Structure 1
Amino acid sequence: MSMASKSPKDKNYKLSGEDLVRLLQGGAYSVEQKKAQIDQLNVFPVPDGDTGTNMALTLKSAVASLPGEGEKKAGKIATVAAKGALLGARGNSGVIFSQLIWGWAKAIEKNTLVTPQDWAQGMVKGVELAYSAVMKPVEGTILTVAKEAAQEAKKRAKRKDISFEELFLIATEAGQEALSRTPELLPVLKEAGVVDAGGQGYVLFLQGIYKALLGETTEEEGDLQPFLQSVEADWQKRNAFHLTGAKEREATHFTYCTEFILRGTALPLQALRHRLEDIGDSVLVVGDSNVLKCHVHTDRPGLALEKGGFYGTLHDITISNMKDQLRPKSEVAFIASAPSEGWAQLFREQGASAIVMGGSTSNPSAQDWVEAIEKANAAYTILLPNHPNLTMAAGQAIKMIGEDRVMMVPTKHLAGGLVAALAYDSNKSVKDNVQVMTEGYHQVECAEITKAVRDATINGITAKEGQFLGLLNHQLVASGTVIEEVIVQTIERNDEDWELITVYTGAGLEREEIDRVIKTLQERFAEADIEEITAGQPLYPYLIGLE
């Protein structure tokens, strides 16, 4: 509890670092509990709605970054959580959420304790950063919900006697009210009969921190402890680097990669992790109370060993000079996202230096892109996100590494991404590669075929659950019960004389059906060359490149 007062109902109550840990855990837990319901708010009735999952994973990354017991400074807690959210951000909703947290943290980073006025100002700052992170902000989304919650919090915080209980309740109610109006601001939500999924996630986060403030847990939500244990388990399983922020990553460039095994009894994982953070970055401490695997980038490897040796015995010590290792292997490289091993191999065949696994169904985090960039180890790197929901996380990684070293060709579909990759030439400059790869991408349109997971009417197209859906450049344009007919309708939606139609087949298809589809295309588009490539993408039996 805060040193200033014992009750959040008191106007003198201030939040400490320990309080913030509890509130952030509560907010993350609330979103985790309801993530499946948020996913179902997807406007399009396709089987890859993932807004709730992305927000939950982003918040899990923030919570996993939090220090153990003992950190009193609220600003330190906020900053560490924000950096975790930035690195763990997945999908556009996760990136926007990470910016809301980052702005809030920037507003209170120097605070030991936080007042209601500080918190309200942090909400406002978060909204400013979130809006600036989106190229074309759209009202009726999480941006609107966060903005109206922040504006109401700021307005009410002008009262010096307002308590945290009042402030959080006011912000939550304002967010809920804004959420209920999102269908009026965004016609596609009204047509689909849903509220904005990202906005719903943000309201659940506010509700979670409010309940945590009051110490409330419903029977439906259960115990928080298993959730926190899963956060730590996920973090360790991933062997995620506990990295610092963008500016620090660029500025530090520590020389030595130091690794060791620590053996002993009652080894303090969190305490050692934070002692190593004091002398370097890329800190990894995983294991149990008897054996810990430790990793740190530092200029003082001897001190790292001393800090570890304070708690137990050292084994398997490795110290390597990273500056010897990090000399660029090539001048220009490119990295692509891929939803399956088949797609990954297609991009490797065109010269991809690294692959970020993921796509419409499993959005990679900003940290996944950062690690791929480091693996590519080139003077300049070009990113191909290959889906609109992967663009913002890739862009966040670029900011972390530096826009002078990493560029993006903002490919929105796999078919265009592969044509962009075909244009790549390792002998050309990064500027020339970006130009020709961008030109290649714009020569292609992409049709996607999947099945509806619910009844819906979008863009005047009515679909029943289980029917086939045809999307052209991610817009629903056709539906029906016969897959060949839906494919033809989708391709014909754009009145072009296609010269090349490339059919990328998904996972689990029968040869008989594929042959039937290819035959239909050959008959209907007799002037075009029809190619078939086995790609193995999930949920979408056919992706079709149109040139």
Structure 2
Amino acid sequence: MKSINGIQFADMIKMGAHHLFQNADYVDALNVFPVPDGDTGTNMNLSMTSGAKETAAHTVEHVGKTAQALSKGLLMGARGNSGVILSQLFRGFGKSVEQFDTLNTKQFAQALNYGVETAYKAVMKPVEGTILTVAKDSANKAVEVSETEEDIRILMAAVVEEAIQSLNRTPDLLPVLKEVGVVDSGGQGLVYVYEGFLASLKGEALPEKTVSSSMDDLVNAEHHKNVQGFMETVDIEFGFCTEFMVRFEEGKKLFDETDFRNDLSAYGDSLLVISDEEIAKIHIHSETPGEVLSYGQQYGDLIKIKIDNMRQQHTDIVGEGFSKEAPVKKEVAHPYAVVTVAMGKGVVELLKSLGASAVIEGGQTMNPSTEDIVKAIQSVHAERVLILPNNKNIVMAAEQAVEVLGIEAAVVPTKTIPQGMAAILAFNSQATVEENKKNMTNAFAHVKTGQITFAVRDTSIDGVEIKKDDFMAIAEGKIIFSNPSLQVGAHKLAQSIIHEDAEIVTIIYGEDVTEEEAKNLASFIEEQYEDVEVEVYNGKQPLYPYILSVE
């Protein structure tokens, strides 16, 4: 096989996307940090699926045009840093081959290499031992082999072999991987894509996923009981589609499926529970997903957590306030808008009260795609836009959104909710976009962020021994403490991030924390630091009982 055309390349994409889809849960499980946001596999899968759908819809014999379709689909569907890097790899690939009808080994190898160059340029501070390294090593191998090899199947086999070897070397390049004993999750996802490519070229079938899909079939059936176009967004009583699995543990509450189902029914509707001797898989629509997860923790370790905001999904499908009799509104262009990202009704309301024009519901466990961000920005009809991601895993997708918007826009690279709050307060409607970006960035640089969340596994990070279900204190992105007590963890976190020049401490408490508990934490801080003013807000955010801001 000396060359491939667009139809053959489209089949490679289809196989690569399918193989990644089959193994997305495993890629998620490789996340090194014990916080409940191991979503690399989910992000890469959703990104690649978007690329594959666009490719399937625009497949032609001209390989360059097929590659452009892949690039477009990946660009708009990219979620999280891993998804954005994947989109950049194939964006460069597509640019390299756009003029070619077919690809030979040298052209294919050069395209892989150009994709790597494009991805490295897109990342401000490239880190070796990640998907970038796996992509780079395998592309270099492709260039080397293409000098003497004309069979693309042999070339692709060499790419896969080198990608696997490079993946196995990632713990030697990134100490945290070696400490936890895993390979890089993004690199593993890329290996699955490349394995799919090779299987397509060789005409071989890849092993199917062994986990039963019966729950997925039931969930799909449950979701389709209501026809989305004939209901209003405000009519959705339970707004968060919550899915997770419980791995049973000795010493925890004994699982009885009937009791479990009856208890969970109090938290929402559309409840489905499937279990065997070792594990239970749960689907429920709830207003309080954090409480659902806390209930599940009584029986064992939580894995494969997925929370979707169905009101946002419904709005995307039919439009906010959809009604067959609703009058058509004439949209008025606004001169300026601030668009941000957050989880939790209270946090959303807080950001809007500070001046956010629109808040995309998302963050940990559910990173919005480039297209999600673009749609949110378009919905505010502004001439100039500033985007605040409030999460390090959303910054790159936001930057890609800026590229495709066609209006004056910039990303203020906030990585936490407290940073986002400080940035919004520094916004000046009379300043230029660049002036605002500079001033807002300077404003959040002086804010310290602390978070409390629960551990999803036993591990050791930076010398901190962590037990699953413990509460972890995270100061400025670094895990500093782990303890079974939420109160102890919160006190330790406060003492770690409140400095002598601190003037204001803001406590944002989540849906699993009572108002009394939050006030007790505020009292502790006021007693310890007499000159500090403490503000308390009910953020209603899932997964993170406390978010602290220190200014």
Instruction: Supply the distance in 2 between the matched residues of 1:69 and 1:387 (Cα, whole angstroms).
Output: 34
Q: Deviations over 1:59-80 (max 9, x none)?
A: 0110111244872222111100
Is the 8 Å Cα contact of residues 350 and 424 (structure 1) preserved in structure 2?
no
From 429, 439, 444, the counterpart of 1:436: 439
Task: Label 1:69 to 1:53 Cα distance change in 2 as closer, same or farther (>3 A).
Answer: closer
Q: CA deviation at 1:521?
A: 2.8
Return the letter of the residue paired with 1:379.
Answer: E
From 80, 84, 104, the counterpart of 2:93: 104
From 341, 345, 365, the counterpart of 2:369: 365
Q: Where do 5+ consecutive residues of structure 1 fail to align? A: 1-10, 240-292, 295-315
Return the letter of the residue paired with 1:377.
Answer: H
Is the 8 Å Cα contact of residues 473 and 479 (structure 2) preserved in structure 1?
yes
Instruction: Supply the distance in 2 between the matched residues of 1:69 and 1:352 (Cα, whole angstroms).
Output: 38
Q: Deviations over 1:139-167 (max 9, x none)?
A: 11111100000000110011143x22211
From 106, 118, 123, the counterpart of 1:134: 123
Instruction: Supply the distance in 1 between the matched residues of 2:432 and 2:118 (Cα, whole angstroms).
Output: 33
Residues 87-166 of structure 1: matches in 2 within 5 Å?
87-161=76-150, 163-166=151-154
Q: CA deviation at 1:471?
A: 0.7
RMSD of the alignment, in Å?
A: 3.0
Q: Deviations over 1:180-199 (max 9, x none)?
A: 11111111111121111111
Q: Deviations over 1:475-501 (max 9, x none)?
A: 111111222221222233346122211
The answer on 1:478 being equivalent to 2:478 is no
Task: Label 1:31 to 1:408 Cα distance change in 2 as closer, same or farther (>3 A).
Answer: same
Q: TM-score, normalised by structure 1?
A: 0.76
Is the 8 Å Cα contact of residues 449 and 497 (structure 2) preserved in structure 1?
no
Q: CA deviation at 1:416?
A: 1.3
In percent, how many aligned pairs have the same letter? 37
Return the letter of the residue paired with 2:195.
Answer: Q
SS in 1 for 2:128: coil
Instruction: Supply the distance in 1 between the matched residues of 2:334 and 2:366 (Cα, whole angstroms).
Output: 30
Task: Label 1:47 to 1:85 Cα distance change in 2 as closer, same or farther (>3 A).
Answer: same
Task: Label 1:492 to 1:23 Cα distance change in 2 as closer, same or farther (>3 A).
Answer: same
Task: Label 1:429 to 1:120 Cα distance change in 2 as closer, same or farther (>3 A).
Answer: closer
Return the letter of the residue paired with 1:408.
Answer: V
From 5, 11, 14, the counterpart of 1:22: 11
Instruction: Supply the distance in 1 between the matched residues of 2:493 and 2:339 (Cα, whole angstroms).
Output: 30
Task: Label 1:407 to 1:70 Cα distance change in 2 as closer, same or farther (>3 A).
Answer: closer
Residues 194-343 of structure 1: matches in 2 within 5 Å?
194-221=182-209, 329-343=333-347
Instruction: Supply the distance in 2 between the matched residues of 1:198 and 1:69 (Cα, whole angstroms).
Output: 27
The answer on 1:490 being equivalent to 2:493 is yes
Q: CA deviation at 1:51?
A: 0.7
Instruction: Supply the distance in 2 between the matched residues of 1:65 and 1:184 (Cα, whole angstroms).
Output: 37
From 72, 76, 79, the counterpart of 2:61: 72
Is the 8 Å Cα contact of residues 413 and 473 (structure 1) preserved in structure 2?
no
**2:468 paired residue number:** 465
Instruction: Supply the distance in 2 between the matched residues of 1:100 and 1:238 (Cα, whole angstroms).
Output: 36
Is the 8 Å Cα contact of residues 199 and 206 (structure 2) preserved in structure 1?
no
Task: Label 1:218 to 1:27 Cα distance change in 2 as closer, same or farther (>3 A).
Answer: closer
Is the 8 Å Cα contact of residues 127 and 150 (structure 1) preserved in structure 2?
yes
Is the 8 Å Cα contact of residues 196 and 206 (structure 2) preserved in structure 1?
no
From 156, 168, 182, the counterpart of 2:170: 182
Higher mean C-alpha displacement, 369-378 vs 511-520: 511-520
Q: CA deviation at 1:178?
A: 0.6
**2:308 paired residue number:** none
Is the 8 Å Cα contact of residues 332 and 430 (structure 1) preserved in structure 2?
no
SS in 1 for 2:23: helix
Q: CA deviation at 1:238?
A: 11
From 455, 459, 462, the counterpart of 1:456: 459
For this pair of structures, how many residues does the alignment match? 448
Instruction: Supply the distance in 2 between the matched residues of 1:69 and 1:376 (Cα, whole angstroms).
Output: 31
SS in 2 for 1:462: strand
Q: CA deviation at 1:44?
A: 1.1
Return the letter of the residue paired with 1:461.
Answer: V
Q: Deviations over 1:110-150 (max 9, x none)?
A: 22222222211110010000000001111111111000000
Is the 8 Å Cα contact of residues 452 and 545 (structure 2) preserved in structure 1?
yes
Return the letter of the residue paired with 1:123.
Answer: L
Q: TM-score, normalised by structure 2?
A: 0.76
Instruction: Supply the distance in 2 between the matched residues of 1:536 and 1:158 (Cα, whole angstroms).
Output: 59
Q: Deviations over 1:440-471 (max 9, x none)?
A: 21221110100111111111211111111011
Q: CA deviation at 1:474?
A: 1.4
Instruction: Supply the distance in 2 between the matched residues of 1:203 and 1:100 (Cα, whole angstroms).
Output: 13
Q: CA deviation at 1:210?
A: 1.2
Q: Where do 5+ consecutive residues of structure 2 fail to align? A: 230-316, 319-323
